Structure 1
Amino acid sequence: MVTYVLRRALQAMAVLLAVSLVVFMGLYAIGNPVDILLPDDATESERVAAIRALGLDQPIWTQYLRFLVNALHGDLSNSFVYNMPSIDLILQRLPATLELALAALFIALLIGAPLGLIAGLKPNTWMDKTITTGSILGFSLPNFWQGLMLILIFAVGLGWFPASGRGQTGSLFGAQTSFATLDGLHHLFLPALNLALFKMAMVIRLTRAQVREVMPMDFVRFARAKGLTERRIITTHVAKTIAAPIITVIGLEFGSMLAFAVVTESIFAWPGMGKLIIDSIVRLDRPVVAAYLLVITTLFVAINLVVDLLYMALDPRTRDI
C-alpha cells in the first residue's frame, strides 16, 4: 500500500509539472495582455513600463522558471486585472463551486442509483423502459437549456426556488457555506439539480448495466440456493459488488463537475470559479487562468488517488496489483 501511494505521488508530481509547462506555454504564447489592460491612447513609454512591470520583457524560459519556482511556494503571480494574488481569487470562489459540485453529486447518487437498481432488476418492463428513456433525455438535452427550463418552471412559474445567487451562508466546521442555512439550501437546489442531471443519467445507466452483469453470476445463484431472501441478496451481495466501479466513475466525474460547472454557474449567477474564469479569459488575465488550471489539475490528481484507494478498500483483489 505504501509503495503504491508513493508511486502515485511521483506520478502526480510528473503530471503537475507537465501541466504547468503546457499551461504556461499555451497562455503566454497567445496574445498580449498589455493591449487589453492599457487604453488605446497609451503612449509607448507607458506600454514599455507595463510590459516591464508584468515581467513580459524577459525570455519565455526565464518567465517559466520564475513561474515554476513561485508556484512551488504557492505564489502564482498577481492578477493583471484585480491586482491581487491570483491564487487568492481562485480560493475565494472555490468553496462555492465545491458545495455546488458536492450537492449535485449527492442528488445524482440519491436519485440515480435507486432508479438504476430498479431498472436493472426489472429489465424490459415498463419501469425499465421509462427509466432508461429518462436517462437518455438527461444525456441528450443541453445543460444550458435544462437550466433555463428549471428557472422557467420552478422559479418563474411556480415560484418555489430563487433563480440566482448563493443566498445566506452560515458557519459549518469553520467554513462559510450554503449547507448551514435553509436560505442557502433553497438557493442551492436548482443549480445543483441542473449540474446533477447529466451525472444522474450516467449513474442510472451505469448501475443498471452493473446489476444486469452481476445478477446471473454464480455467487448470486448460490445465495438463492442457500435460501437468502432477494432483499438480502441485493443489499448485501449485489450492492457491494457493484459499488466499486460506480464509486470509481463517480469519483472521477466529481472532478469534471468542478471543472465544467461554468455553464451552471453562469445561468444561475452562482458566485463560483466559473464566472471568474470566463471574465479572466476574456480579459486575458493570464495569472488567474493559469492558477485556475493548476488548482483544477491538482484537485483531479487528488481525487484520482482517493478513488483508487477507495477501490482497493472495496475490492481486496486489487491490493496486490
Structure 2
Amino acid sequence: MLNFITRRLGQSAVLVLVMSALVFVGMYVISDPVAVLAGEDFTEADRQALAAELGVDRPLIVQYFNFLGNVIRGDFGSSFVYNRPVMDLILEKLPATLEVAFLAMFIGLVVGIPLGVYSGLNQKKPATKTISFATTVGYSIPNFWQGVLLIMLFAVWLQILPASGRGDTVEVFGVGWSMFSLNGLSHMILPALNLAIYTICLQARLARSGTQEVMYQDFMTFARAKGISRERIVRRHLVRNILIPIVTITGLQLGGLIAFATVTETVFSWPGIGKLLLDSIHNSDRPVVVAYLILITLMFVTINFIVDVTYALLDPRIRYT
C-alpha cells in the first residue's frame, strides 16, 4: 500500500510540474503585460523599466525557475494589474465561488438522484420519458444560454430574483458569505441553479443507469423473493450500491464546479475566482492566471489521488495492479 501511495504521489508531482510549465510558457507566448500596462506616452526607456520591474525582461527559463522557487516558498507573486499578492486576490474571491458551487452540488444531488432512481424503477411510465427528455435537453444546452434564459424568466419577466451581483454578505471568521443573509441568498439562487442544471441531469442519468443495472442483480432478486418491501429494498440495498460511482463523479464534478464556474460568474456578474480569471486573461495578468491554473490542477490532482487511494483501500486488487 505504501508503494502504491508513493507512486501516485510521484505521478501527481510530475503532472503539476508539467502543467505549471505549459501554463507559464503559454502565457508568455500569448500575452505581453508591458504592452497592456504601458500608457500611450511611455517611451522605450519607460517600457524597459516597466519590464524590469515586472521581471519579464529576463529569459523565459530564468523567469520560470524563479517562479518555481517562489512557489515552493508559498509566494505566487504579485498581480501586474492590482499590485497585490496573487494569493490574497484568489482567497478574497474564493468564498463567493465556493458557496455557489456547494449550493449547486447540493441541489444537483437532492434533485438528480431521486429523479434517476424513480426513472430506473418505473421505466414504462410517462413521467420517466419526460424526465429522460428533460435531462437530455438540460445536458445539451450551453451553460451561458441557460443563464440568459434564467435571467429572462426570473429577473425580467417574473421579477422575483436579482440578475447580477452578490448582494449583502455576513462576515464569519473574517470572511464575507452571502448565504447567511436573505438578500445574499436571493442573489445566489440563479447562478447556483445555472450550475446545478448540468449536475441534476448528470446525476439523474447516473442514478438511472445504476438502478437499472442493480435491480437485476442476484441479491436484489433474492431480497424480493424473501418478501422484503419495495421501499426497504430501495433504501437498504439499491441506493447503497448505486452510490459508489455517484460519489466518485460527485467529487470530481465538485472540483469542476469550482474550477469552471467562469461562464456562470461572468453571466451573473458574480465576483468569484472564475470572473477574476477572465479579467486577468483579458489584462494579461500572468501571475494571477498561472497561479489560478496551478491551484486548480493541484485541486484535481488531490481529488484524484484521494479517489485512487480510497479505491485501493476498498479493493486490494487495485493496489497490486
1:60 paired with 2:57, answer no
| Structure 1 residue aligned with 2:24 | 24
- The code of the aligned residue for 1:202 comes to L
Cα distance, 1:51 vs structure 2: 1.3
Q: Which runs of 5+ in 1 are unaligned?
A: none
Secondary structure in structure 2 of the residue aligned to 1:176: strand
CA distance in 2, matches of 1:308, 1:183: 41
| Structure 1 residue aligned with 2:251 | 251
- The code of the aligned residue for 1:227 comes to G
Cα distance, 1:229 vs structure 2: 1.2
Cα distance, 1:316 vs structure 2: 5.2
Deviations 1:55-107 (A, max 9, x none): 22212111111000101111111111111112211111111111111111111
- The code of the aligned residue for 2:111 comes to I
Q: Tell me if the contact between 1:94 and 1:273 (Cα under 8 Å) persists in the aligned partners.
A: yes
CA distance in 1, matches of 2:241, 2:316: 12
| Structure 2 residue aligned with 1:116 | 116
The aligned runs of 1:235-314 (5 Å cut-off) are 235-308=235-308
Residues 185 and 319 of structure 1: CA distance in aligned 2, closer, same or farther (over 3 Å): farther
Q: Tell me if the contact between 2:171 and 2:177 (Cα under 8 Å) persists in the aligned partners.
A: yes
| Structure 2 residue aligned with 1:152 | 152
Deviations 1:116-147 (A, max 9, x none): 00000011321110100000110122211211
Secondary structure in structure 2 of the residue aligned to 1:179: coil
Q: Tell me if the contact between 2:169 and 2:176 (Cα under 8 Å) persists in the aligned partners.
A: yes
Secondary structure in structure 1 of the residue aligned to 2:176: strand
- The code of the aligned residue for 2:135 comes to S
Residues 158 and 30 of structure 1: CA distance in aligned 2, closer, same or farther (over 3 Å): closer
| Structure 2 residue aligned with 1:11 | 11
CA distance in 1, matches of 2:61, 2:76: 16
The aligned runs of 1:167-246 (5 Å cut-off) are 167-172=167-172, 175-246=175-246
CA distance in 1, matches of 2:198, 2:170: 29
CA distance in 1, matches of 2:2, 2:76: 31
| Structure 1 residue aligned with 2:105 | 105
CA distance in 2, matches of 1:250, 1:58: 43
Residues 176 and 2 of structure 1: CA distance in aligned 2, closer, same or farther (over 3 Å): farther
Secondary structure in structure 2 of the residue aligned to 1:107: helix
| Structure 1 residue aligned with 2:80 | 80
224-233 or 60-69, which moves further after superposition?
224-233
CA distance in 2, matches of 1:174, 1:43: 44
Secondary structure in structure 1 of the residue aligned to 2:239: helix
CA distance in 2, matches of 1:33, 1:221: 66
Secondary structure in structure 2 of the residue aligned to 1:165: coil
- The code of the aligned residue for 2:232 comes to R
Deviations 1:232-289 (A, max 9, x none): 1111111111101011112111111112111111111111012211111111111111
Q: Tell me if the contact between 2:312 and 2:319 (Cα under 8 Å) persists in the aligned partners.
A: no
Residues 306 and 172 of structure 1: CA distance in aligned 2, closer, same or farther (over 3 Å): farther
CA distance in 2, matches of 1:137, 1:200: 12
In the comparison of the two structures, how many residue pairs are matched? 320
| Structure 2 residue aligned with 1:44 | 44
CA distance in 2, matches of 1:310, 1:157: 48
- The code of the aligned residue for 2:40 comes to D
Q: Tell me if the contact between 1:248 and 1:308 (Cα under 8 Å) persists in the aligned partners.
A: no
CA distance in 2, matches of 1:139, 1:316: 32
TM-score (norm 1): 0.93
- The code of the aligned residue for 2:154 comes to F
Q: Tell me if the contact between 1:211 and 1:242 (Cα under 8 Å) persists in the aligned partners.
A: yes
- The code of the aligned residue for 2:83 comes to N
Secondary structure in structure 2 of the residue aligned to 1:29: helix
CA distance in 2, matches of 1:257, 1:225: 43
